[in-house]
Every structure is written in structure tokens, then in C-alpha cells.
Amino acid sequence: MHTIYLLKNELHVPFYVGRMQNVRNRLYQHKQTFGKSTTITEIITTDNKLHAMELESIYINIYLKRGYKLVNKHNSTYFKNQMKILVKIIESKRKYTKKSKRKTNKK
């Protein structure tokens, strides 16, 4: 399971949107980095990693548009590269699906 989550500070202001598989470990890591008063709120859960990556990006954009100052690496090369990888994976899956359908139709 892949969970999209929101971190809030001691004033309950959202400051980070992330994606995780292990809630307990990830919360521990965040509390070490951002402090013990950090709280985590689950937004949505999915079985599909690609879907989770896409949802993470969508929720980051939603909170940025609402005016929250997120500490995500959303403006960095890392985030842009993640999105390029996601697009390539989706395109390759579409090509594979089309080839599979053609082979099935030929039989």
C-alpha cells in the first residue's frame, strides 16, 4: 500500500506532502527532522505506486495553490526528474498494452 500524507506543524499548518509505505517508520523519520510536535494526516491510499506518485504531485500542487509554503523538493531537479520518470513509465505501459491487444486480436 502507498499512502499520500500531509504533515502539519504545532499550529496545525500543513508544510509537507509525501508518499510512504510504512507509516510508523516515516513518522519517526519526520519527527526526528521536524520535531516531536509534527503530526501526520493520511490523505489517500492506493495499491499502485505510479498512481501514488501522480497523486502526490497533485496534492503538492493543491496545497501550493492554496498558499501553503511546503518544504517539499517540488522546485528542485529531483522532483522534475521524478515526473519525467513517471511519464516514461506510463508511456511504456501504454505501448505494452497496445502490443498485447494486437497480439490477442491476431489469434
Q: What is the DSSP string of 5-42?
A: EEEE-TT--EEEEEEES-HHHHHHHHHHHH-TT-EEEE
- Output the CA–CA distances (angstroms, integers) from residue 28 to 4, 34, 40, 65, 88, in the order listed: 16, 10, 10, 28, 33
Pairwise CA distance, residues 72 & 33, whole Å: 13
- What pLDDT digit, counting tens, does each position of 31-83 carry? 888 888 888 888 899 998 888 888 888 898 899 899 999 988 755 455 566 66
User: Quick one: pLDDT band at residue 15, thresholds 50, 70, 90?
Assistant: very high
Work out the percent of the chain whose per-residue pLDDT is above 90: 22
Across the chain, mean pLDDT equals 81
Cα–Cα distance measured from residue 35 to residue 17, given in angstroms and rounded to the nearest whole number = 16
Q: Which of 45, 56, 57, 50 is nearest to 21 (CA)?
A: 45
Q: Are 39 and 8 in contact (CB under 8 A)?
A: yes
Does 6 score more than 80 pLDDT? yes
**Of the candidates 32, 30, 49, the residue with the CA atom closest to the CA atom of residue 40:** 30
Average pLDDT over residues 83-100: 70
